[in-house]
Amino acid sequence: MRLLALVFLVFVVACTTTKKPKLEVLDGLEAQAVTDLQQGNLAAADEKLNKVLADSPQRWRSLNALGILHSFKNEIPQAQASFASADSISPNNPAVLNNWGLALAIDNRYDEAIAKLMQAVEVAPPTTRTQPELNLALIYALSGNEKPAEIILHRYMTPAKIRENMKFYRGLRKDQQKSRQVLQNAYGVPQMQVPVEDPPVPLLPAPAQN
């Protein structure tokens, strides 16, 4: 009888130790992965995000972060797929739409990118609308359609600052590699916020969506 009790205790302990991580553990891993992304530790972020998504594949924040990770690794189709998955779980989420639009712009799919950014601007609360709208101006300019870009910039900055940014945008159209880097730096990684007037405008990351 004592032996059977011991066997049962070992079984219970084994079941307990193999139990899937609790919600707070997943939240913690997710937060650590975002910190790794902010600090450029892509391998560490990749490991944590895969752990989270293996246990809970319906977490839009992890899928959104995974899309950013793929883009930083120049895996653009995978980035777009991750953002599409995040959007299917959390539709009309301005953070996801912002990032999805940027990934499309990296792929030179400007019309689709503009559509996503316009949607992000439309659904974003006023307090978080600035960055998607500035990213929309960037993509308009990269597509060669400068007038809408200038109209957007007029809402946020002085004429001198607008001229500076438009000159910067024109230079990006001639430099594909730099354009890609600027678009990647415009992704919405939570808690990375800088003032609107800090140059260059395209390097401003988008606000997080809770």
Per residue in 100-144, pLDDT (tens digit) is: 999 999 999 999 999 999 999 999 999 889 999 999 999 999 999
SS3 129: coil
CB 136 within 8 A of CB 121: yes
pLDDT at residue 20, rounded to an integer: 53
Percent share of the chain, pLDDT over 70:
80
Q: What is the residue extent of each domain of the chain?
A: 14-75, 92-210
* Residue-wise pLDDT tens digits, 81-90: 999 999 999 9
Q: How far is CA 57 from CA 41, 54, 64, 81, 203, in A?
A: 22, 6, 12, 14, 30
Omega before residue 202 within 30° of 0, cis? no
Contact 80, 93 (CB under 8 A): no
CA dihedral 106, 196, 125, 134 (to 10 degrees): -30
Are the C-beta atoms of 118 and 139 separated by less than 8 Å?
no
Asked if the model's pLDDT at residue 17 lies above 60, the reply is no
By the 10 Å C-beta count (0-12 exposed, 13-18 middle, 19+ buried), 11 is classed as exposed
